Chain A
């Protein structure tokens, strides 16, 4: 029963809140849909913190795709041994994770100590950074310490298949019951973060402007149909 709660109900609830909440905010409150930039108030620390944090996140994202979404068989098919995979995951994941943690710590300290930034930081802003720090902190710990000192845990046979099973709507929660506690904690903390997305400015990541390089530099719009771009 406990397994069902943590590995079926919590994930679906989280995803439901995240998806419905985001769609609702996108359709009803465009005016609040922004990147939480505070560069206008402080540049020096942001210059180190923000790129470190974001590039770390990008690498970590790629790492999670590799570890959780791509099945173990896929690696074997291409002759990538488990040892090779884990060596890469520990170095690559470790660096990415450390970038996120160090970046987030800088951003958090900056948020707490620089008057102009602190005064305008909301509960939601602190929540995002702190929960990211917790998630990433546990992640770095299991990658760099747990994996190398306790056991090189093969999550590609448990966490990976479980996560993918969520998307085929046949959740194999039994796979998760034997997973080491720290891994479980990392996942639950991440769900806490995901569920908060629609209520914080984390929504900005949905709006990565990837179309920018492909559009015309100059934009004309007609007043009578200003939502319709063109020419």
Chain B
């Protein structure tokens, strides 16, 4: 057993209101420099839809993540030898157009325009070339709230896989928000794709980072990450990615996206896992078994043996206590209501999602008299097709999704009977057995999902500073000193650009 700690996140999709606050606060913290205009370490996409970058889930094209072939786990885009062969031109890499050409508006003109017959306007101007863009045609949220409708929705790779036709008539259509950050995977393919070894997973908290000094811009990580969450900075010619706001988490604070989340959908906590199990878990044959295999890697933070091994691995008491109180452990591992995004990529992602409930398609008549058991079939009639959620969260396994939705439904039914009354005793119904849950858990769940306060949603131990070997040297130093990409334009003699 090789115990490692991972700081992980759960997002409760039912509560996301698609306000993009998380994206904006993240952007103004991390990607507001030249070269990073198009980057959104956190983005919120409306699904169904192509997402950002366009159709990132189309791995036939980007060749992200891992594949299991002939009894071996290998990078889908090809191993080291094939990467060296393709180093001069990476055939699978996305380009700016797969994201969008970032632009600003010429606001100056509003102030400086000479007197004229018509009102002055601020024209859009490319942040890449500085030229006017007369007609912006795509952006990071171009299809927000299904804008673009039946023209853009079919670009969603999940929709293309679905057997059944997705209705686009207003009364029948569905929609959900999917906020995305880097998954800080247990088996990160970005790390394995990097020829320079500049990407790495931190021992202490599992955060996946790019060493800005060692990155040589070979750009295989970009499409190597199946979630397309590594970005190419055209200014520094190096890769950048979400760093889980580690200067904040090291201080015990949640990431910026979580701190500012309006819907309070985000939870952060520590989980302990056995690093020796990771490779085997990523190598199970059937993609639908990956979810269970990943769950098997996690360790029970209350198990004395685990605690002992963790201590040997240098994980201190504060971290173990946090792991015991971790909301992520509860939701993803104990109650099993949070699921990993696209487990079939075999990276063992560590941002977990509670799937959203959605209105029932057919009108439920005489709801007041509905017996609790009557709620069971409603799960299959929800607006968001179970198949669609399964395509996102369980490699197509609808049973797992159905069970989670039943748990959430049971929670609603029970909490409603507690506060409003009027529905028959849950204990005696089949809903509980089908959902495989008891009333005590339901009430605990309802508290964490519904009313938990800041310190219950974010249980983050501070960085283990006592492990630093040169604390004296680091006194007063900036925690992102060695790692941070430079501010402003990168210059070197003869490499100066106009206007920098």
Contacts and interface: CB of A to CB of B under 8 A. Distances in A.
Contacts of A124: 492, 494-495
A40 B395 CA distance: 30
A64 interface: no
In the complex, which of the residues B129, B131, B188, B467 has the most CB atoms of chain A within 10 Å of its own CB atom?
B129
B252 interface: no
B211 A226 contact: yes
Given A37-B218, A39-B90, A212-B195, 4 more contacts: A116-B129, A209-B195, A218-B188, A227-B482
In the complex, which of the residues B84, B88, B196 has the most CB atoms of chain A within 10 Å of its own CB atom?
B88
Contact of A218 (B191, B205, B211): B191
Contact of A204 (B204, B216, B235, B495): B216
A217 B192 contact: yes
B93 interface: yes
B383 interface: no
A38 to B, nearest CB: 8
A31 B495 contact: no
A215 B195 CA distance: 9
A25 B213 CA distance: 12
Given A31-B213, A51-B89, A219-B199, A39 B468 contact: no
Contacts of A68: none
B217 A217 contact: no
Nearest to B484: A31
A209 B194 CA distance: 9
Contacts of B444: none
Pairs A-B, 6 closest by C-beta atoms: A209-B195, A30-B213, A217-B192, A213-B80, A34-B217, A219-B200
Contact of B490 (A32, A41, A46, A231): A32
Interface string A26-61: 000111111111111111001100110111000000
A116 B467 contact: no
A221 to B, nearest CB: 4
B9 to A, nearest CB: 19
Contacts of B485: 31
B131 A115 contact: yes
A207 B194 CA distance: 13
A83 interface: no
Contacts of A38: 234
A51 B84 CA distance: 12
A75 interface: no
Given A122-B494, A222-B202, A115 B195 contact: no
Contacts of A36: 217, 237
Interface string B187-210: 110011011110111111100000
A7 B421 CA distance: 98
Interface in A44-99: 46-47, 50-51, 53-55
Contact of A46 (B89, B191, B496): B89
A222 B195 contact: no
Interface string A164-177: 00000000000000
Interface of A: 25, 29-43, 46-47, 50-51, 53-55, 115-116, 119-120, 122-125, 127, 199-201, 204, 207, 209-213, 215, 217-227, 229, 231
A231 B235 CA distance: 33
A222 B490 contact: no
Nearest to B214: A30
A210 B81 CA distance: 9
Contact of A221 (B83, B188, B200): B200
B422 interface: no
Contact of A51 (B88, B486, B493): B88
B486 A31 contact: yes
Given A34-B238, A54-B88, A209-B196, A218 B201 contact: yes
A66 to B, nearest CB: 23
Given A42-B95, A212-B83, A219-B200, A33 B216 contact: yes
B202 A123 contact: no
B464 to A, nearest CB: 8
A116 B392 CA distance: 35
7 contacts: A36-B217, A120-B234, A122-B496, A124-B495, A199-B492, A219-B194, A220-B200
Contact of A222 (B194, B238, B467): B467
Interface of B: 75, 79-81, 83-84, 87-91, 93-96, 128-131, 187-188, 191-192, 194-197, 199-205, 211-219, 232, 234-238, 463-464, 467-469, 482-483, 485-486, 490, 492-497
B97 to A, nearest CB: 9
A34 B215 contact: yes
Nearest to A231: B203
Given A212-B195, A220-B203, A32 B495 contact: yes
B392 to A, nearest CB: 26
Given A40-B93, A40-B234, A43-B95, A224 B219 contact: no
A219 B201 contact: yes
B89 A217 contact: no
A34 B192 contact: no
Nearest to B90: A39
A58 B213 CA distance: 27
A231 to B, nearest CB: 7
A211 to B, nearest CB: 8
Contact of B96 (A50, A53, A116, A207): A116
Contacts of A204: 216-217
A37 B219 contact: yes
Contacts of A42: 95
Given A32-B490, A42-B95, A122-B495, A207 B196 contact: yes
Contacts of A54: 88
Contacts of A33: 213, 216
A16 to B, nearest CB: 17
Given A213-B81, A217-B191, A40 B96 contact: yes
A141 B199 CA distance: 44
A225 B217 contact: no
B468 A31 contact: no
Nearest to B232: A40
Given A46-B89, A115-B131, A199 B211 contact: no
